[in-house]
Amino acid sequence: MESGTHTAERYTSEERRAKLRAFADRMLDHLEDLAPPQDVAEVERGMRTGLLIERLYARVDIAERRAPPPPLTPEQEAAEAAQTAQRRAEHHAYWVDRVNGLRLMREAEEAKTTQPAPAPVSAPPVYTDWPKTCDDDFEGYGDEDDDLIDDLSDEVMVPAPKPEPPLARVIDPQNPLRAPVQYWHPPERPDYGGG
> Rounded mean pLDDT of the chain?
76
Question: In angstroms, how far is the first alpha carbon of the chain from the final one?
Answer: 108
pLDDT range class, residue 111, cuts 50, 70, 90: confident
Is the Cα dihedral 152, 156, 159, 161 positive or negative?
negative
Instruction: Give the burial string for 130-149 (b: 16+ CB within 10 Å, else e).
Output: eeeeeeeeeeeeeeeeeeee
Judged by average pLDDT, the poorest of 55-64, 84-93, 102-111, 179-188 is 179-188
Instruction: State pLDDT tens for residues 121-147.
Output: 676 666 665 555 555 555 555 555 555
Residue 181 reports pLDDT greater than 90: no
Q: Which of residues 161 and 171 earns the better pLDDT score?
A: 161
Q: CA-to-CA distance for 78 and 84, rounded, in angstroms?
A: 10
Closest CA to 56 of 12, 14, 17, 11: 17
Q: What is the pLDDT of residue 59?
A: 92
Q: CA-to-CA distance for 162 and 35, rounded, in angstroms?
A: 90
